[in-house]
């Protein structure tokens, strides 16, 4: 005969209390944590909660090394592991990979487990999903860095007046803020990219690289490491009018590459640089208009005289000569009277083109007003000046004939004044050249004369 012993009421109550306590703690864990786990001494998962956890079924995780869940750091090395605590720890954060491949950031609280001999036999912990909090913190930190970079640029640029000086100050401020070895602003000028402002070392050879990168920029950033250079980062610096510029920053040879956050930082700086670049373009155009004759595109009288003063200082130091040609367009009044001022303007433009073609890049050519022009031949002596004047007088009849009536001859009267090494002023040289030119006019026009 078998006798079955029924549990006493006390045992039943104790078992119920234990079950209730276990359920209570399970509920607490479920409410307080998004992930609970235990590992053995080998770091393998022996318990996970809930099921599924991080998109993984519990059966897929049990027996698996917990560190398999860790996402790799940007360097390619394993990230910090919260699964191997050596003491109680709270608030440690790590990025884990979900079953669908997405990354999730968890804040861990963990303790080591010990066996009877005091050796670590595993670990136990809970974790809370702080992905959105981490992203907000990262966005805030990135915004603060952007603000700090723009503020550093503003602090350097705020004392400058000219946009070109602002750009130089801006690239100077970027070097310490970004840990860069150099920075440069480039803009499209005359069909190619030109360096507008730069600071630091290593710009040599990068203009060619920038020209190649320009079509690829779009709205993003481009990184590469050219030969004999450190890691390079290029972003567009778009101007409000649509013209495209470029901001380049680079590190020293062997330096670390540019991470995603730094790319966003430099892109933000590129937007700011684009605004200054547009201002530089506007100021350059205003300066050009202030120095240029609107009809011919030649230097105006003021710009010519200012530049001539600078040339005189240099020629005096170097004890080199120079020649001034004072040029008058003969018979322009007859063209204006018979064909109108539009025809007269066409004749002036034709004369300007003839003179522009006769000078070197180092020379100066200007319209002083009305039908008067001036050429400055840098470093020329009397022989060179006379040869240039003879060629202009000879070419003028054919070059200007199409702008005048058949019975009116447009020609050039040229006065030459040569400045040798000495202290003659611009005003005195102009007076001599003007006197020589009027001597030609009185002698029948269409010729040249050298001032004594």
List, as one string, the DSSP characters of 342-387: HHHHHHHHHHHHHHHHTS-TTSEEEEEETTEEEEEEET--HHHHHH
Distance from C-alpha of 255 to C-alpha of 257, rounded to nearest angstrom: 7
Is-cis flag, bond preceding 52, omega within 30?
yes
75's CB contacts (< 8 A; 6+ apart) are: none
| Cβ neighbours of 102 (radius 10 Å) | 12
Phi-psi map region of 33: left, alpha, beta (phi>0 left; psi -120 to 50 alpha): beta
220's CB contacts (< 8 A; 6+ apart) are: 235, 263, 267
Give the residue among 154, 155, 167, 200 at the shortest CA–CA distance from 281: 167
**Whole-number pLDDT of residue 57:** 92
Say if 29-129 and 138-291 have the same CATH topology: yes
29-129 CATH: 3.30.450.20
What does the pLDDT look like over 265-322, one tens digit per residue?
888 888 888 888 888 888 877 877 888 898 999 999 999 999 998 888 788 788 888 9
Q: What would be the CATH architecture of the domain defined by 301-450? A: 2-Layer Sandwich (3.30)
H helices of 244-296, in order, are 260-291
| Cβ neighbours of 100 (radius 10 Å) | 8
Unique residue bearing structure tokens 């004999």: 228
pLDDT in tens, the chain (452 residues): 555 555 567 666 666 666 665 556 555 555 568 899 999 999 999 999 888 989 999 999 999 999 989 886 433 445 568 898 888 888 888 888 888 888 888 999 999 999 888 888 999 999 999 888 877 876 766 666 767 777 777 777 777 788 888 888 888 888 888 888 889 888 877 777 788 888 887 777 777 787 787 777 766 788 888 877 888 888 888 787 667 788 888 888 888 888 888 888 888 888 888 888 888 888 877 877 888 898 999 999 999 999 998 888 788 788 888 999 999 999 999 998 899 999 999 999 999 999 999 998 889 999 999 999 999 999 899 999 999 999 999 999 889 888 888 888 899 999 999 987 667 888 899 999 999 999 999 999 999 999 98
Write the CA distances from 431 to 186, 424, 451, integer angstroms.
Answer: 44, 11, 9
Our measurement of the distance from residue 185's CA atom to the centroid of its chain's CA atoms, rounded to an integer in Å, reads 4
The structural domains of the chain, with segments of one domain joined by +, span 29-129, 138-291, 301-450
Unique residue bearing structure tokens 């004047």: 389
- In terms of C-beta density within 10 A (0-12 exposed, 13-18 middle, 19 or more buried), how is residue 69 classed? buried
Query: What number of H helices and E strands is found in the chain?
Result: 11, 15
Q: CATH for 138-291, among 3.30.450.40, 3.40.50.720, 3.20.20.70, 1.10.260.40?
A: 3.30.450.40
Give the residue among 110, 134, 132 at the shortest CA–CA distance from 122: 110
Our measurement of the distance from residue 24's CA atom to the centroid of its chain's CA atoms, rounded to an integer in Å, reads 61
């Amino acid at each position: 005969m078998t006798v079955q012993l029924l549990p006493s009421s006390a045992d039943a109550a104790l078992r119920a209390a234990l079950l209730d306590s276990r359920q209570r703690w399970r509920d607490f864990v479920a409410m307080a944590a998004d992930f609970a786990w235990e590992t053995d001494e080998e770091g393998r998962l022996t318990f996970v909660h809930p099921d599924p956890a991080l998109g993984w079924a519990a059966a897929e995780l049990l027996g698996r090394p917990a560190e398999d869940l860790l996402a790799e750091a940007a360097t390619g090395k394993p990230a910090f592991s919260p699964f191997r605590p050596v003491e109680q720890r709270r608030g440690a954060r790590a990025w884990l990979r979900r079953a669908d491949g997405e990354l999730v950031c968890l804040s861990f609280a963990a303790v080591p487990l010990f066996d009877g001999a005091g050796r670590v036999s595993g670990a136990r912990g809970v974790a809370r999903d702080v992905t959105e909090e981490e992203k907000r913190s990262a966005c805030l930190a990135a915004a603060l860095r952007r603000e700090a970079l723009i503020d550093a640029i503003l602090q350097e640029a705020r004392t400058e007046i000219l946009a070109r000086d602002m750009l130089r100050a801006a690239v100077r401020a970027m070097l310490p803020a970004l840990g860069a070895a150099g920075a440069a602003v480039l803009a499209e000028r005359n069909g190619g990219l030109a360096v507008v402002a730069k600071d630091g070392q290593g710009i040599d050879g990068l203009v060619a690289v920038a020209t190649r990168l320009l079509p690829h920029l779009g709205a993003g950033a481009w990184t590469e490491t050219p030969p004999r250079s450190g890691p390079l980062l290029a972003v567009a610096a778009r101007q409000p009018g649509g013209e495209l510029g470029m901001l380049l920053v680079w590190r020293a040879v062997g330096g670390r590459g540019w991470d995603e956050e730094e790319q966003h930082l430099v892109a933000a700086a590129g937007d700011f640089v684009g605004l200054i670049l547009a201002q530089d373009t506007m100021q350059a155009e205003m300066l050009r208009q202030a120095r240029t004759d609107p009809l011919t595109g030649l230097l105006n009288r003021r710009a010519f005289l200012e530049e001539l003063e600078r040339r005189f200082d240099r020629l005096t130091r170097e004890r080199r000569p120079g020649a001034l040609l004072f040029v008058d367009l003969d018979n322009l009044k007859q063209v204006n009277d018979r064909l109108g001022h539009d025809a007269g303007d066409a004749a002036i433009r034709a004369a300007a083109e003839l003179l522009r073609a006769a000078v070197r890049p180092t020379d100066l050519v200007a319209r002083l007003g009305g039908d008067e022009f001036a050429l400055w031949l840098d470093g020329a002596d009397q022989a060179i000046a006379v040869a240039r004047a003879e060629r202009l007088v000879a070419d003028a009849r054919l070059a200007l004939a199409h702008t005048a009536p058949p019975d009116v001859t447009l020609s050039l009267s040229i006065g030459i004044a040569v400045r040798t090494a000495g202290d003659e002023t611009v005003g005195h040289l102009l007076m001599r050249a003007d006197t020589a030119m009027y001597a030609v006019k009185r002698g029948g026009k269409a010729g040249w004369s050298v001032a004594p």
